[in-house]
Amino acid sequence: MKPPKRAPRVAGETPPAGPPWDEPVDRAAFAFLDLEMTGLDVDKDHIVEVCIRRVVGDQIVGELDTLVRPLDRAGGAAHVHGLDAEVLAGAPSFAEVAPRILELLDGAIPVAHAAEWDLAFLEHELARPPLGQTVHFPFWLDTLILSRRAFALPSHSLDALSVSLNLDRGRAHRAGDDVRAMIQLFAKAMAVLAPGSARDLWQVRIAERKARDSVVEACREAVERGLPVTVSYRPSKKGAQTLEMVLTEVRTDLDPPRVLGYLLPGRGRRELRADRILRVEPVPAGAPSPSPE
């Protein structure tokens, strides 16, 4: 099913310069978000549960985890999340929790699994009476995209990832438990991708042939130094490979850019797609140097 309609992105638009996008990931504010709804029609359905955890480093600095009484269609999708009309009867309305939602998201980077769904519903709910607020969240991080780049797995649903990556899943399709699993997934993806900033994670793209600027720059620096590096590389539909290489050229005139070099030992030539490079690191001290030409 296609994501719900929402305000379109502008082609080539990127997050604004400065914090939180250009801060180191351990200092940037991330707002991990999950919603449960009465259904999947953004025009008719409503939010019935919301969890947001605002995280800086490894600390939760703000949180909202609440049921929401919908304007109508209460009990819709109860077969999925178990939130029927009786359970929701005493919950606050969306208008009552909206100020806290906006407070937690202010100055933070939204993070969700299949994020476009959650943000589209959030924008529509804010725009409805009695709030009538036009709020757009044009930039976000999607743990589904990060997972698909970092891990070679048959499925990237939260349920499947919880099994494959040993996440603490809790109850499926409940906002608080989904957010907890998502935070763990995010940490595991960051360990693989080794981002320098949140913008670095924004540049992780699937099927867009997009190479991260940080990866291209690291490869250029390795070419200039002429010293061996360890490259973590994920070929299409395969798990990550760890390659010890000396890089000799970065071809940014190609789409996507290509990184050329030779393997150690043996000096076998390799050409890597830069968009499939997960990280580039110096070879640990004490490792043998490349033999002369």
Please name every residue paired with 33 in a beta bridge, in sequence order, or none if there are none: 52
Answer whether 35's CB lies under 8 Å from 125's CB: no
pLDDT score at 83: 76
pLDDT score at 73: 73
For residue 268 the two structure tokens come to 């076998």
C-alpha to C-alpha distances, 202 to 23, 159, 199, nearest whole angstrom: 13, 24, 5
Chain centroid offset of residue 202 CA: 8
Please name every residue paired with 35 in a beta bridge, in sequence order, or none if there are none: 50
pLDDT score at 292: 40
For the chain (293 residues), the mean pLDDT of every run of 10, in chain order, is 51 86 96 92 92 97 96 67 78 97 98 95 95 95 96 94 92 89 97 95 87 96 96 93 96 95 91 96 68 42
Domains and CATH numbers, the chain: 29-202 (3.30.420.10), 213-282 (2.30.30)
Rg (CA), the chain: 22
pLDDT score at 293: 41
In total, the chain counts a number of residues equal to: 293
pLDDT score at 169: 82
C-alpha to C-alpha distances, 272 to 21, 90, 209, 255, 280, nearest whole angstrom: 28, 57, 13, 12, 12
